[in-house]
């Protein structure tokens, strides 16, 4: 859960070290926003991260991360966002106007150059969601440039290697909303969203028998899918299904087709983004010989959700509702 304590002495701020999976101390940023609320400290991936003032020029990476900020009404605190244009329709969400009020900085990979040109004082990204040791784009590297950071909780590393995931997926969403509410001093709005989302998810009826569901992201030689810590795990569970890869202690990961066949999913959910598109993925699944005997393929029970529905984002609760309706339609009557 988030740490909501506030530092009381500037000397204490200087003692915070840099760690592999935590946001570093944010720079002073917009001095005009100083108030009794700041400095504020939150727990980000197991590391206490302190922010001295409200960030004024935040750069976000990827669509789900961007929409966490927009859903909180923070477009005016953003310098812009980085994301491709193939990960979800941005004109069909309640916060679509927020996209118009900030700047689409790049459709390519986020870089130091992009955030420096944007004069960012905070970068909101995640491991495999922009942050990468191989590319030298890390919270530590940004701290060396005087730029603060916040790491998406879905992407937090477990400490056992490169595996990601430290809590259940919807708790990741609620944790980030609460933390961002503290960081940007909009906790009332964050609490409203969290309560709304909890109510929406709790309203979905749970069946006596849970159909077996496999999340197919991509890959032909080996499928990329969701383990227990990525958003699809809880989207599937709260929708009334059972993620057949829910015992894999990682978020997004690669498995073998033999595991999929052995689990015999009754429904396959396609993650729709990029190329190949959802229809091409559907065609592959239906014509891939090893899957010919799998129940979902035999019965043509294949459901499509967009990328932004299936990564941590404020669209997760609506994805639960949509998938639940589909599962009821194909497993009852």
Per-residue pLDDT at 149 exceeds 60 = yes
Identify the residue with better confidence: 86 or 36: 36
Across the strands, what pairs with 129?
126
- Strand segments, DSSP code E, in the chain are 40-44, 47-51, 58-61, 78-82, 104-106, 122-127, 130-131, 148-151, 212-216, 224-226, 242-243, 252-254, 267-272, 302-306
Confidence bin at 29 (pLDDT 50/70/90): very low
Q: What pLDDT was estimated at residue 233?
A: 97
With a pLDDT cut of 70, the percent of the chain lying above it is: 88
Work out the burial of residue 83: count CB atoms within 10 Å of its CB; fewer than 13 is exposed, 13-18 middle, 19 or more buried.
buried
Cβ contacts of residue 30 below 8 Å, gap of 6+? 53, 54, 55, 56, 57, 121
Per-residue pLDDT at 147 exceeds 50 = yes
Confidence bin at 333 (pLDDT 50/70/90): low
**For 50, what's the count of Cα atoms within 13 Å in the CB-facing half-sphere?**
18
Across the strands, what pairs with 301?
none
Per-residue pLDDT at 158 exceeds 90 = no
Identify the residue with better confidence: 159 or 189: 189
Round to whole Å and give the CA distance between 169 and 236. Answer: 11
Domains, in order of start, for the chain: 10-200 (3.40.50.1980), 212-331 (3.40.50.1980)
């Amino acid at each position: 859960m988030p740490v909501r304590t506030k530092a009381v002495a500037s000397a204490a701020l200087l003692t915070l070290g840099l760690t592999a999976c935590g946001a570093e101390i944010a720079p002073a940023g917009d001095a005009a926003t100083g108030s009794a609320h700041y400095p504020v400290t939150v727990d980000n991936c197991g590391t206490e991260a302190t922010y001295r003032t409200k960030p004024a020029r935040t750069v976000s990476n990827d669509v789900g991360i961007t929409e966490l900020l927009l859903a909180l009404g923070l477009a005016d605190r953003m310098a812009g966002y980085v994301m491709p244009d193939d990960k979800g329709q941005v004109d069909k969400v309640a916060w679509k106007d927020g996209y118009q009020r900030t700047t689409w900085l790049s459709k390519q990979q986020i870089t130091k150059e992009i955030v420096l040109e944007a004069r960012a004082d905070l970068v909101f990204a995640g491991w495999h969601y922009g942050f990468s040791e191989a590319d030298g784009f890390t919270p530590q590297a940004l701290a060396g440039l005087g730029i603060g950071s916040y790491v998406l909780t879905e992407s937090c590393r477990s400490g056992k290697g490169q595996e990601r995931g430290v809590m259940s997926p919807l708790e990741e969403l609620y944790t980030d909303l609460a933390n961002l509410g503290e960081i940007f001093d909009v906790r009332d709005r964050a609490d409203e969203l969290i309560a709304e989302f909890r109510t929406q998810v709790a309203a979905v009826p749970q069946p006596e028998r849970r159909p077996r569901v496999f999340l197919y992201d991509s890959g032909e030689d080996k499928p990329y899918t969701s383990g227990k810590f990525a958003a699809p795990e809880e989207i599937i569970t709260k929708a009334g299904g059972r993620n057949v890869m829910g015992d894999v202690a990682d978020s997004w990961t690669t498995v073998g087709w033999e595991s999929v066949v052995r689990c015999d999913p009754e429904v396959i959910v396609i993650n729709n983004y990029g190329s190949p598109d959802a229809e091409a993925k559907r065609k592959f699944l239906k014509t891939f010989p090893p899957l010919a005997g799998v129940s979902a393929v035999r019965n043509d029970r294949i459901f499509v959700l967009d990328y932004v529905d299936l990564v941590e984002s404020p669209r997760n609760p609506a994805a639960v509702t949509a998938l639940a309706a589909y599962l009821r339609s194909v497993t009852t009557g």
